[in-house]
Amino acid sequence: MSKKITDKVTWVGKIDWELRSFHGDELSTHKGTSYNSYLIRDEKTVLIDTAWEPYDKEFVSNLKKEIDLKDIDYIVINHGEIDHSGSLVALMNEIPDTPIYCTANGVKSLKGHYHKDWNFVPVKTGDTLDIGSSTLAFVEARMLHWPDTMFTYMSGDNILFSTDAFGQHYASEMLFNDLVDQDELYSEAFKYYANILTPFNKLVINKIKEVVAMNLPLDYICTSHGVIWRDNPAQIIEKYIEWANDYKEDQITILYDTMWDGTRRMSEAIAKGLIEGDKDVRVKQFNLSKSDKNDVLSEAFKSKAILVGSPTVNKGITYATAGILEMLKGLGMKNKKAGAFGTYGWSGESVKIIEDWLHEAGFEIPLESVKAMWNPDEAAIEAAENFGKLFAAECLD
Ligand SMILES: Cc1cc2nc3c(=O)[nH]c(=O)nc-3n(C[C@H](O)[C@H](O)[C@H](O)COP(=O)(O)O)c2cc1C
């Protein structure tokens, strides 16, 4: 079902209420998502992006209800990832000669995925396309979040088609930001930023500066997932600047795993110490085997410091701990402190392994880590509490 945005622009995407994980299982999507595609009808007709491949037949058939496909003059693909370009094969089977506007890297990624020699028109920042009473201007946005990414700005209606930037994995029949639950919207926009865009913080800041300097009037940000920002679209840009500047709240998050509850007891003792210190701090604890990894990463993103705990298992750490450390390394959060803890039976390698991994992930480790043998006794619990107190003092202003 299509939805009208302005007299000239119609949403022709797909709302996916069922999706619960994305990028394989790399990203949880508790609230579904949408694959947003937009049809512009000016003197020329333009399709911006498509929908994910499993929905290609539905996408093309809905598009046919909206327009004779032969009337599409240009296709713009802002980002070649399959969730946005996946319906191209089905569409291009019907209109094989239609020019596809994308970046030079977009040509590479589209050819890499579909192995088709379509009529590509590579564009770069500053290039424009006259479509009648309005003009499309292209702005390359390399690595936000793929090398091929670009934004397309439509004059007249003052719309920034921003592809994944400013998006949320958030299914809603309500097309616009002002019509949805604001807490849900911001929680999903935050999770999206923390889990996808964190590695590109500097690029986000620079790109926003570049676009702001263009002084373009902005009435809508049409993202490729979730709702369209029409009510004060600058609000999400301001949030992105905040998040990209090594965002942190007065929170310390403890991430641990345990087999026989010893490491959990250490976590609880550390949490007690963190809270008992003379600093105001919000403390959260997550058992990594029982928690959603992406929600945990969002909490880490929000924190001034994190503590990671694991028992020693076969001279190593548990797989859930290794998984989260690998993800933290990839995200490369900056200006955060960290510490390690864990229990062991004889050799006790886990704490050192966690410390090394945290160093590699870019965290500063201000205190020597704590470990305890077997099920921590009273003295070990007291040591963990003291560690918590000292850690809070080190990490909070
Ligand atoms: C399968 C398995 C392998 C283990 N391997 C080691 C090891 O290599 N070195 C060591 O010091 N302890 C080892 N342990 C002992 C645990 O580290 C110890 O039981 C610890 O107290 C468990 O912590 P938890 O109560 O948080 O699960 C192993 C335990 C299990 C069950």
Q: Is there a catalytic annotation at residue 246?
A: no
In this chain, the answer to whether the domains covering 3-231 and 252-395 adopt an identical fold is no
Catalytic residue among 153, 192, 247, 256: 192
Tokens of 175: 């097309």
Report d(CA 74, CA 97) in Å as an integer. 10
CATH architecture classification, 3-231? 4-Layer Sandwich (3.60)
Q: Of 108, 99, 117, which is closest to residue 146 (Cα–Cα)?
A: 108
What distance in Å separates the CA atoms of residue 133 and residue 171, rounded to the nearest whole number?
Answer: 33
At residue 20, the pLDDT reads: 96
Q: Exposure string (b/e) for 306-328, b if CB count within 10 Å is 16 or more? A: bbbbbbbbeeebbebbbebbebb
Element (H, E) at 266: helix 262-276
The helix, strand and coil proportions of the chain, stated in percent and rounded to the nearest 5, come to: 40, 25, 40
Q: 33 — alpha (psi -120 to 50), left (phi > 0) or beta? A: beta
* Residues 286 and 307: beta-carbon distance below 8 Å: no
**Protein residue whose Cα sits closest to atom 23 of ligand 1:** 311
Active site residue 23: yes
Candidate of 344, 346, 349, 353 to mutate for ligand 1, largest count of ligand atoms within 8 Å of Cβ: 344
Which numbered atom of ligand 1 lies nearest the CA of 315?
Answer: 8
Looking at residue 397, its pLDDT comes to 78
Predicted pLDDT at 65:
97
Active-site choice (38, 148, 169, 225): 225
Predicted confidence at residue 278, as pLDDT, reads: 75
Integer distance in angstroms from the first to the last C-alpha of the chain? Answer: 52
Which residues are near ligand 1 (CB < 6 Å)?
258-263, 311-315, 343-348, 374
Atom of ligand 1 nearest to the CA of 373: 21
Tens digit of pLDDT at every position of the chain (397 positions): 789 999 999 999 999 999 999 998 999 999 999 999 999 999 999 999 999 999 999 999 999 999 999 999 999 999 999 999 999 999 999 999 999 999 999 999 999 999 999 999 999 999 999 999 999 999 999 989 899 999 999 999 999 999 999 999 999 999 999 999 999 999 999 999 999 999 999 999 999 999 999 999 999 999 999 999 999 999 999 999 999 999 999 999 999 999 999 999 999 999 999 999 777 899 999 999 999 999 999 999 999 999 999 999 999 999 999 999 999 999 999 999 999 999 999 999 999 999 999 999 999 999 999 999 999 999 999 999 999 999 999 998 7
Q: 23, 178, 326, 360: which one is catalytic? A: 23
Q: Which amino acid is at 135?
A: T
Distance 193 CA to ligand 1 centre (A): 36
Q: Please say if 84 is a catalytic residue.
A: no
Mutate to test the pocket of ligand 1, among 256, 258, 259 (most ligand atoms within 8 A of CB): 259
pTM of the model: 0.96
Quote the CA–CA distance of 33 and 22 in Å, as a whole number: 9
Q: Of these residues, 49, 83, 148, 188, which one is catalytic?
A: 83
Q: In the annotation, is 30 catalytic?
A: no
pLDDT at site 386: 97
Question: Which numeric CATH code is attached to 252-395?
Answer: 3.40.50.360
Please identify, by atom number, the ligand 1 atom nearest to the C-alpha of residue 374: 21
The atom number, within ligand 1, closest to the CA of 342 reads 26
Helix orientation angle between 350-360 and 319-331, rounded to the nearest 10 degrees: 20
The structural domains of the chain, with segments of one domain joined by +, span 3-231, 252-395
For residue 351, what are its two tokens? 């704490």
Q: What is the pLDDT of residue 279?
A: 78
- Cα dist. 158→178, 224, 229 in Å? 18, 17, 12
- In this structure, how many other beta carbons lie within 10 angstroms of the beta carbon of residue 187? 17
Spacing, Cα 368 to ligand 1 middle (Å): 21
Asked if residues 135 and 128 have their Cβ atoms less than 8 Å apart, the reply is yes
Q: Which of 140, 157, 164, 299 is catalytic?
A: 164
Residues 6+ apart with CB under 8 A from 170: 31, 32, 33, 34, 180, 184, 185, 188, 189, 225, 226, 227
Residue whose token pair is 């990028």? 23
